[in-house]
Structure 1
Amino acid sequence: MIQRFIELGEGYSDLYELLELTNANQHRLQHMLALHTKIEQKELTSLVVVLKPTDPGKFQPLYICREGIPNPNFTPNKRYDLFAQTASKYDKQICELTVKPSSIFYEKELYYQYLIGILRLNHYLLPLQ
Protein backbone atom coordinates (compact mmCIF):
# COMPACT_ATOMS: atom_id res chain seq x y z
CA MET A 1 0.00 0.00 0.00
CA ILE A 2 1.19 3.49 -0.84
CA GLN A 3 0.47 6.16 1.77
CA ARG A 4 1.32 9.68 0.67
CA PHE A 5 0.85 13.20 1.95
CA ILE A 6 -0.63 15.65 -0.52
CA GLU A 7 0.08 19.19 0.62
CA LEU A 8 -2.57 21.73 -0.27
CA GLY A 9 -0.85 24.70 1.38
CA GLU A 10 -0.64 26.22 4.83
CA GLY A 11 -4.31 26.48 5.67
CA TYR A 12 -5.38 29.90 4.48
CA SER A 13 -7.74 29.70 1.48
CA ASP A 14 -6.63 26.12 0.79
CA LEU A 15 -8.41 25.05 3.98
CA TYR A 16 -11.64 25.39 2.01
CA GLU A 17 -10.28 22.94 -0.56
CA LEU A 18 -9.45 20.51 2.25
CA LEU A 19 -13.02 20.79 3.54
CA GLU A 20 -14.42 20.37 0.02
CA LEU A 21 -12.30 17.24 -0.49
CA THR A 22 -13.69 15.92 2.78
CA ASN A 23 -17.28 16.60 1.71
CA ALA A 24 -16.77 15.08 -1.74
CA ASN A 25 -15.11 11.95 -0.30
CA GLN A 26 -17.19 11.46 2.83
CA HIS A 27 -17.66 7.78 1.95
CA ARG A 28 -13.86 7.31 2.12
CA LEU A 29 -13.20 9.49 5.18
CA GLN A 30 -11.12 7.58 7.71
CA HIS A 31 -9.55 10.14 10.08
CA MET A 32 -9.31 13.86 10.68
CA LEU A 33 -6.12 14.92 12.44
CA ALA A 34 -4.71 18.03 14.08
CA LEU A 35 -0.91 17.90 14.31
CA HIS A 36 0.36 20.50 16.78
CA THR A 37 3.89 21.91 16.71
CA LYS A 38 5.93 24.92 17.78
CA ILE A 39 7.93 27.04 15.31
CA GLU A 40 9.88 30.08 16.52
CA GLN A 41 7.76 30.43 19.68
CA LYS A 42 4.52 30.17 17.65
CA GLU A 43 2.08 27.37 18.44
CA LEU A 44 0.82 26.08 15.07
CA THR A 45 -1.36 23.26 13.80
CA SER A 46 -1.44 21.21 10.61
CA LEU A 47 -4.84 19.86 9.62
CA VAL A 48 -4.96 16.46 7.91
CA VAL A 49 -7.71 14.44 6.27
CA VAL A 50 -6.94 10.74 5.86
CA LEU A 51 -9.00 8.86 3.29
CA LYS A 52 -9.45 5.09 3.06
CA PRO A 53 -7.22 3.38 0.47
CA THR A 54 -8.44 3.10 -3.10
CA ASP A 55 -9.56 -0.28 -4.34
CA PRO A 56 -7.97 -1.30 -6.62
CA GLY A 57 -4.61 0.39 -6.33
CA LYS A 58 -4.21 0.54 -2.56
CA PHE A 59 -3.29 4.25 -2.59
CA GLN A 60 -4.07 6.10 0.64
CA PRO A 61 -3.95 9.90 0.40
CA LEU A 62 -3.37 12.14 3.40
CA TYR A 63 -4.36 15.70 2.50
CA ILE A 64 -2.60 18.29 4.64
CA CYS A 65 -2.63 22.03 5.28
CA ARG A 66 0.82 22.30 6.85
CA GLU A 67 1.66 24.47 9.87
CA GLY A 68 -0.35 27.55 8.96
CA ILE A 69 -3.21 27.50 11.44
CA PRO A 70 -2.83 28.79 15.01
CA ASN A 71 -3.07 26.02 17.60
CA PRO A 72 -6.69 26.23 18.82
CA ASN A 73 -5.62 25.23 22.34
CA PHE A 74 -3.78 28.57 22.61
CA THR A 75 -5.53 30.77 20.05
CA PRO A 76 -9.13 29.91 19.13
CA ASN A 77 -9.73 30.58 15.44
CA LYS A 78 -12.42 30.28 12.79
CA ARG A 79 -10.38 28.06 10.45
CA TYR A 80 -10.02 25.33 13.08
CA ASP A 81 -13.69 25.76 13.99
CA LEU A 82 -14.66 25.03 10.35
CA PHE A 83 -12.55 21.87 10.44
CA ALA A 84 -14.16 20.82 13.73
CA GLN A 85 -17.65 21.45 12.32
CA THR A 86 -16.86 19.23 9.34
CA ALA A 87 -15.58 16.48 11.67
CA SER A 88 -18.78 16.72 13.69
CA LYS A 89 -20.89 16.61 10.53
CA TYR A 90 -19.40 13.20 9.67
CA ASP A 91 -19.30 11.96 13.27
CA LYS A 92 -15.49 11.94 13.40
CA GLN A 93 -13.28 12.78 16.35
CA ILE A 94 -10.31 15.04 15.57
CA CYS A 95 -7.24 13.07 16.61
CA GLU A 96 -4.67 15.44 18.09
CA LEU A 97 -0.94 14.73 18.20
CA THR A 98 2.09 16.85 19.03
CA VAL A 99 4.86 16.47 16.43
CA LYS A 100 8.20 18.02 15.49
CA PRO A 101 8.11 20.99 13.09
CA SER A 102 8.89 20.43 9.41
CA SER A 103 11.62 23.09 9.59
CA ILE A 104 14.01 20.73 11.39
CA PHE A 105 14.00 18.28 8.48
CA TYR A 106 16.36 18.76 5.56
CA GLU A 107 13.62 17.92 3.02
CA LYS A 108 9.85 18.03 3.22
CA GLU A 109 9.70 14.39 2.11
CA LEU A 110 11.66 13.35 5.22
CA TYR A 111 9.14 15.22 7.35
CA TYR A 112 6.28 13.35 5.71
CA GLN A 113 8.04 10.01 6.25
CA TYR A 114 8.42 10.95 9.92
CA LEU A 115 4.68 11.73 10.15
CA ILE A 116 3.73 8.47 8.44
CA GLY A 117 5.84 6.61 11.01
CA ILE A 118 4.11 8.42 13.88
CA LEU A 119 0.67 7.73 12.39
CA ARG A 120 1.49 4.04 11.90
CA LEU A 121 2.75 3.71 15.47
CA ASN A 122 -0.49 5.23 16.74
CA HIS A 123 -2.56 2.94 14.47
CA TYR A 124 -4.06 5.76 12.40
CA LEU A 125 -2.46 4.17 9.31
CA LEU A 126 -1.99 0.52 8.44
CA PRO A 127 1.58 -0.83 8.84
CA LEU A 128 3.77 -1.67 5.86
CA GLN A 129 2.62 -4.79 4.10
Structure 2
Amino acid sequence: MIQRFIKLGEGYNDLYELIEIAKTNKDRIHLILRLDTKIDERDMSSLVVLLKPALPGKMMPLYVCHEGIYNPIHKPTERYRLFEEAVNQLNLDIHRLEVKNSKQFAEIDLYYQYLTGVLRLNRYLPPMS
Protein backbone atom coordinates (compact mmCIF):
# COMPACT_ATOMS: atom_id res chain seq x y z
CA MET A 1 0.00 0.00 0.00
CA ILE A 2 1.29 3.43 -0.95
CA GLN A 3 1.03 6.10 1.74
CA ARG A 4 1.38 9.62 0.39
CA PHE A 5 1.28 13.02 2.07
CA ILE A 6 -0.76 15.58 0.16
CA LYS A 7 0.25 19.01 1.38
CA LEU A 8 -2.35 21.72 1.63
CA GLY A 9 -1.40 25.28 2.53
CA GLU A 10 -1.50 27.01 5.90
CA GLY A 11 -4.36 29.49 5.54
CA TYR A 12 -8.05 29.43 6.36
CA ASN A 13 -9.04 28.21 2.88
CA ASP A 14 -6.68 25.26 3.20
CA LEU A 15 -8.10 24.42 6.60
CA TYR A 16 -11.64 24.63 5.21
CA GLU A 17 -10.54 22.21 2.48
CA LEU A 18 -9.08 19.80 5.05
CA ILE A 19 -12.30 19.94 7.07
CA GLU A 20 -14.38 19.35 3.95
CA ILE A 21 -12.18 16.38 2.98
CA ALA A 22 -12.85 14.88 6.41
CA LYS A 23 -16.60 15.53 6.27
CA THR A 24 -17.14 14.18 2.76
CA ASN A 25 -14.96 11.14 3.40
CA LYS A 26 -16.12 10.33 6.93
CA ASP A 27 -16.53 6.64 6.05
CA ARG A 28 -12.94 6.50 4.79
CA ILE A 29 -11.25 8.24 7.72
CA HIS A 30 -8.52 6.11 9.20
CA LEU A 31 -7.24 8.66 11.72
CA ILE A 32 -7.07 12.36 12.58
CA LEU A 33 -3.69 13.67 13.79
CA ARG A 34 -2.15 16.77 15.29
CA LEU A 35 1.61 16.81 14.89
CA ASP A 36 3.20 19.24 17.33
CA THR A 37 6.64 20.76 16.82
CA LYS A 38 8.76 23.77 17.68
CA ILE A 39 9.96 26.17 14.97
CA ASP A 40 12.20 29.07 15.99
CA GLU A 41 10.92 28.91 19.58
CA ARG A 42 7.28 28.92 18.41
CA ASP A 43 5.04 25.95 19.17
CA MET A 44 3.35 24.95 15.91
CA SER A 45 1.11 22.11 14.75
CA SER A 46 0.30 20.27 11.54
CA LEU A 47 -3.21 18.88 11.16
CA VAL A 48 -3.55 15.62 9.24
CA VAL A 49 -6.50 13.60 7.95
CA LEU A 50 -5.54 10.02 7.04
CA LEU A 51 -7.95 8.26 4.70
CA LYS A 52 -8.32 4.57 3.93
CA PRO A 53 -7.55 3.72 0.30
CA ALA A 54 -10.35 4.15 -2.22
CA LEU A 55 -11.43 0.79 -3.57
CA PRO A 56 -9.96 -0.79 -5.61
CA GLY A 57 -6.99 1.58 -5.14
CA LYS A 58 -3.95 0.95 -3.00
CA MET A 59 -3.04 4.52 -2.01
CA MET A 60 -3.62 5.84 1.50
CA PRO A 61 -3.70 9.66 1.28
CA LEU A 62 -2.55 11.76 4.23
CA TYR A 63 -3.91 15.30 3.76
CA VAL A 64 -1.90 17.79 5.80
CA CYS A 65 -2.03 21.47 6.71
CA HIS A 66 1.71 21.64 7.28
CA GLU A 67 3.06 23.47 10.37
CA GLY A 68 0.63 26.33 9.86
CA ILE A 69 -1.34 26.39 13.10
CA TYR A 70 -0.14 27.62 16.44
CA ASN A 71 -0.10 24.80 18.95
CA PRO A 72 -3.38 25.02 20.88
CA ILE A 73 -1.77 23.86 24.13
CA HIS A 74 -1.19 27.44 25.26
CA LYS A 75 -4.14 29.19 23.65
CA PRO A 76 -6.49 27.59 21.12
CA THR A 77 -6.70 29.57 17.89
CA GLU A 78 -9.77 30.06 15.74
CA ARG A 79 -8.32 27.75 13.08
CA TYR A 80 -7.74 24.95 15.56
CA ARG A 81 -11.16 25.49 17.12
CA LEU A 82 -12.80 25.07 13.69
CA PHE A 83 -10.89 21.84 13.09
CA GLU A 84 -11.63 20.46 16.54
CA GLU A 85 -15.32 21.31 16.17
CA ALA A 86 -15.50 19.45 12.83
CA VAL A 87 -13.74 16.40 14.29
CA ASN A 88 -16.15 16.39 17.25
CA GLN A 89 -19.11 16.47 14.85
CA LEU A 90 -17.68 13.36 13.21
CA ASN A 91 -17.43 11.68 16.65
CA LEU A 92 -13.70 11.16 16.24
CA ASP A 93 -10.64 11.87 18.36
CA ILE A 94 -7.57 13.87 17.48
CA HIS A 95 -4.42 11.85 18.13
CA ARG A 96 -1.34 13.86 19.06
CA LEU A 97 2.36 13.29 18.46
CA GLU A 98 5.44 15.45 18.99
CA VAL A 99 7.72 15.40 15.96
CA LYS A 100 10.76 17.18 14.54
CA ASN A 101 10.05 20.20 12.36
CA SER A 102 10.53 20.16 8.61
CA LYS A 103 13.35 22.74 8.72
CA GLN A 104 15.58 20.06 10.25
CA PHE A 105 15.57 18.21 6.92
CA ALA A 106 17.32 19.15 3.69
CA GLU A 107 14.24 18.34 1.58
CA ILE A 108 10.54 18.16 2.31
CA ASP A 109 10.43 14.60 0.89
CA LEU A 110 12.92 13.51 3.58
CA TYR A 111 10.68 15.07 6.22
CA TYR A 112 7.64 13.18 4.95
CA GLN A 113 9.67 9.94 4.93
CA TYR A 114 10.57 10.65 8.56
CA LEU A 115 6.91 11.26 9.42
CA THR A 116 5.88 8.06 7.66
CA GLY A 117 8.38 6.13 9.77
CA VAL A 118 7.17 7.77 12.99
CA LEU A 119 3.55 7.02 12.12
CA ARG A 120 4.36 3.39 11.30
CA LEU A 121 6.38 3.00 14.49
CA ASN A 122 3.41 4.25 16.51
CA ARG A 123 1.09 1.98 14.51
CA TYR A 124 -0.93 4.89 13.13
CA LEU A 125 -0.07 3.65 9.62
CA PRO A 126 -0.29 0.03 8.55
CA PRO A 127 2.94 -1.62 7.43
CA MET A 128 3.83 -1.60 3.77
CA SER A 129 2.38 -4.55 1.89
1:1-129 matches, within 5 Å, as 1-129=1-129
Instruction: Return 5+ residue gaps in structure 2 as ranges.
Output: none
SS in 2 for 1:33: strand
Distance apart, 1:106 and its partner CA: 0.6
SS in 1 for 2:27: helix
Moved over 4 A (4+): none
Residues 11 and 95 of structure 1: CA distance in aligned 2, closer, same or farther (over 3 Å)? farther
Distance apart, 1:13 and its partner CA: 2.3
RMSD (CA atoms): 0.9
Instruction: Return 5+ residue gaps in structure 1 as ranges.
Output: none
SS in 1 for 2:23: helix
Separation in 1, partners of 2:29, 2:99: 22
Residues 98 and 11 of structure 1: CA distance in aligned 2, closer, same or farther (over 3 Å)? farther
Separation in 1, partners of 2:67, 2:11: 8
Instruction: Report if aligned partners of 1:36, 1:46 keep a CA contact under 8 Å in 2.
Output: yes
Separation in 1, partners of 2:93, 2:34: 10
Instruction: Report if aligned partners of 1:12, 1:68 keep a CA contact under 8 Å in 2.
Output: no
Kindly provide the amino acid, as one letter, of the partner of residue 29 in structure 1.
I
TM-score (norm 2): 0.96
Distance apart, 1:91 and its partner CA: 1.2
Separation in 2, partners of 1:11, 1:98: 22
Instruction: Report if aligned partners of 1:36, 1:44 keep a CA contact under 8 Å in 2.
Output: yes
Provide, for residues 28-72 of structure 1, a one-character-per-residue CA deviation record: whole Å limited to 9, x for no partner: 111110000000000000000000112212110000000010000
Provide, for residues 75-117 of structure 1, a one-character-per-residue CA deviation record: whole Å limited to 9, x for no partner: 2111111111111111111000000000011110110011111
